[in-house]
């Protein structure tokens, strides 16, 4: 009896391995699904801005794009999954948005209150107007002090105003 039971186990065990299904992870599709939501000038996915702040910032960014043809997009997020670093997440989001000419930002500002991170992506063509040092200075001087006070709307508004002033020059 034990031999028969042992033989049945040996015969069935390899069969179960052959017919079992494994989940294949498709990181490209997963990454695209992370960004598959509608995007506008201000995208408060983390819910850290009030409706008035969103409206004011959106109107400012729309008017600036109409006048100067530079599109600035702001995105807030509480998670960067499946990415492991905030810069990687921001870069991939920028690439995702660049695929659609209506969404393609000249400057992308990604903020996370929960992760305490901010990242600014810009196209190479504006580096002569807005260098990485300029951007860093704007963020540390205008945005971060307001973020520390808990006023993300004001911090973003001040930073965006300074970025727009830099882009208006020349």
User: pTM of the predicted model, to two decimals?
Assistant: 0.80
The answer to whether residues 139 and 118 touch, using CB atoms and an 8 Å cutoff, is yes
Indicate whether 51 pLDDT > 60.
yes
- The predicted model gives 74-99 an average pLDDT of 95
> How far is residue 65's CA from residue 136's CA, in Å, rounded to a whole number?
22
Band of pLDDT at residue 12, cut at 50, 70 and 90: low
Q: Is residue 10 part of a domain?
A: no
The per-residue pLDDT for 61 is 97
Q: Is residue 59 part of a domain?
A: yes
Burial class (CB in 10 A: 0-12, 13-18, 19+), 129: middle
Q: Is residue 147 part of a domain?
A: yes
The per-residue pLDDT for 23 is 41
Closest CA to 109 of 83, 90, 86: 90
Residue 59: strand, helix, or coil: helix
Q: CATH number for the domain including 51?
A: 3.10.310.50
Determine which helix (DSSP H) or strand (DSSP E) holds 121, and give its type and residue range: strand 117-122
Tokens of 44: 């408060």
What is the span of the domain harbouring residue 75?
26-168
């Amino acid at each position: 009896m034990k031999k028969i039971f042992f033989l049945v186990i040996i015969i069935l065990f390899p069969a179960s391995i052959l017919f079992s299904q494994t989940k294949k992870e498709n990181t490209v599709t997963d990454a695209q699904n992370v960004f598959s939501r509608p995007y506008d000038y201000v995208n408060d996915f983390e819910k850290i801005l009030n409706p008035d702040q969103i409206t004011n910032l959106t109107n400012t960014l729309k008017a600036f794009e109409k006048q100067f043809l530079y599109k600035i997009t702001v995105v807030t997020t509480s998670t960067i999954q499946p990415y492991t670093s905030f810069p990687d997440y921001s870069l991939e989001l920028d690439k995702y948005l660049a695929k659609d000419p209506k969404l393609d930002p000249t400057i992308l500002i990604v903020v996370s209150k929960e992760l305490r991170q901010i990242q600014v992506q810009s196209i190479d063509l504006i580096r002569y107007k807005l260098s990485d040092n300029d951007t860093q200075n704007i963020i540390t001087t205008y945005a971060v002090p307001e973020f520390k006070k808990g006023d993300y709307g004001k911090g973003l508004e001040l930073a965006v105003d300074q970025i727009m002033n830099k882009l208006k020059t020349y």
